[in-house]
């Protein structure tokens, strides 16, 4: 059975088609995810896909119900092109998220009406809604630092869109990481109230829960944005890893979180594969970002407060 997708907003923001993870070698990162996280690769199986006009390499893989696109510029990176520019500035780091939108012209019209800059597929601004536009990028300056790709298309051959998905999804539950499903993206910000307002007013995201996250040492608000959860977090302790990230990079995507069945099993597996972890509490660990190509990964056995994707 295909994955059942939920949407939010008037224009049908639906499946989070991918999270892009930038590195200097897309193949090396892909092999890391295969070896450590049990990833299923469905694009770039033998070698990364090369896109000349972006001068970059990429692969697509699944970890549970999360699609990750590993991406790298052709080296030496060309800083005049978007991929090379990002890598030159941020290096190994989570890059962006992408969403399937049922009514992309309607959503772009809404964003433009709120004064948001939108970059078109060929570069340069998108100034009017165009039914022929396949994808676009609101400026991170207007989205609290999160780079978001809005697309009218699914990812080609996305396993979640196939009838075999319900069978494939069992693979990760039997892996030593015991992944049940993806939980949320974490966006680090300097002003929680302003960031939440952006997502509620502009993208019509649905508030789920908020408060103090002592594991992150942050004040937070979790929002449902399409078929995924976004946790927006503002550091409350200047010595926390999140605070250092926000201090260095400003508002920007910070980490990923998975729901797992057995934290001890996940911790032992990661240790076996030389990925250091920190036990934040009995039911939650986080990987060392240096061991995961710049991306801290949280694995917890307790569902987050108010999670609308809880399976009864």
- Is residue 121 predicted with pLDDT exceeding 90? no
* pLDDT digit string, tens, across residues 101-117: 999 999 999 999 999 99
**Which pLDDT does position 228 carry in this prediction?**
96
* pLDDT digit string, tens, across residues 132-154: 899 999 999 999 999 999 999 88
**Banded model confidence at residue 83, pLDDT cuts 50, 70, 90:** very high
Q: Name the one residue in this structure whose structure tokens are 């990176």.
A: 77
**Which pLDDT does position 156 carry in this prediction?**
87
Q: At 107, give phi and psi (nearest 5°).
A: -70, -40
**Which pLDDT does position 122 carry in this prediction?**
65
Mean pLDDT, the chain, whole residue set:
96
- Is residue 262 predicted with pLDDT exceeding 60? yes
* pLDDT digit string, tens, across residues 2-51: 999 999 999 999 999 999 999 999 999 999 999 999 999 999 999 999 99
């Amino acid at each position: 059975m295909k994955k059942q997708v939920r949407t939010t907003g008037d224009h049908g923001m639906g499946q989070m088609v991918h999270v892009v993870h930038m590195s200097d070698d897309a193949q090396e990162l892909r092999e890391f995810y295969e070896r450590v996280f049990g990833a299923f690769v469905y694009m770039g199986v033998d070698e990364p896909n090369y896109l000349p006009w972006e001068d970059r390499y990429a692969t697509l893989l699944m970890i549970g119900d999360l699609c990750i696109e590993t991406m790298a510029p052709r080296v030496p990176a060309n800083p005049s092109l978007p991929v090379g520019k990002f890598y030159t500035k941020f290096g190994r780091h989570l890059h962006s998220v992408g969403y399937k939108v049922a009514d992309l012209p309607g959503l772009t019209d809404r964003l433009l009406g709120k004064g948001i800059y939108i970059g078109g597929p060929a570069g340069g601004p998108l100034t009017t809604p165009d039914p022929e536009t396949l994808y676009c990028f609101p400026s991170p300056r207007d989205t609290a630092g999160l780079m978001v790709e809005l697309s009218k298309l699914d990812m080609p051959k996305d396993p979640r869109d196939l009838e075999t998905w319900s069978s494939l999804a069992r693979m990760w539950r039997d892996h030593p990481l015991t992944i049940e499903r993806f939980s949320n993206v974490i966006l680090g910000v300097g002003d929680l109230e302003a960031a939440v307002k952006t997502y509620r007013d502009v993208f019509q995201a649905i508030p789920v829960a908020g408060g103090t996250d002592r594991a992150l040492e942050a004040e937070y608000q979790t929002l449902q944005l399409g078929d995924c959860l976004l946790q927006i977090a503002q550091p409350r302790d200047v010595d926390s890893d999140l605070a250092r990230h926000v201090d260095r990079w400003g508002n920007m995507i910070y980490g990923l979180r998975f729901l797992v069945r057995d934290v001890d099993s996940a911790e032992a597996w990661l240790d076996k594969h030389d990925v250091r972890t920190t036990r934040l509490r009995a039911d939650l660990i986080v990987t060392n970002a240096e061991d995961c190509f710049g991306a801290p990964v949280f694995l917890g056995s307790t569902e987050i407060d108010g999670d609308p994707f809880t399976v009864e």
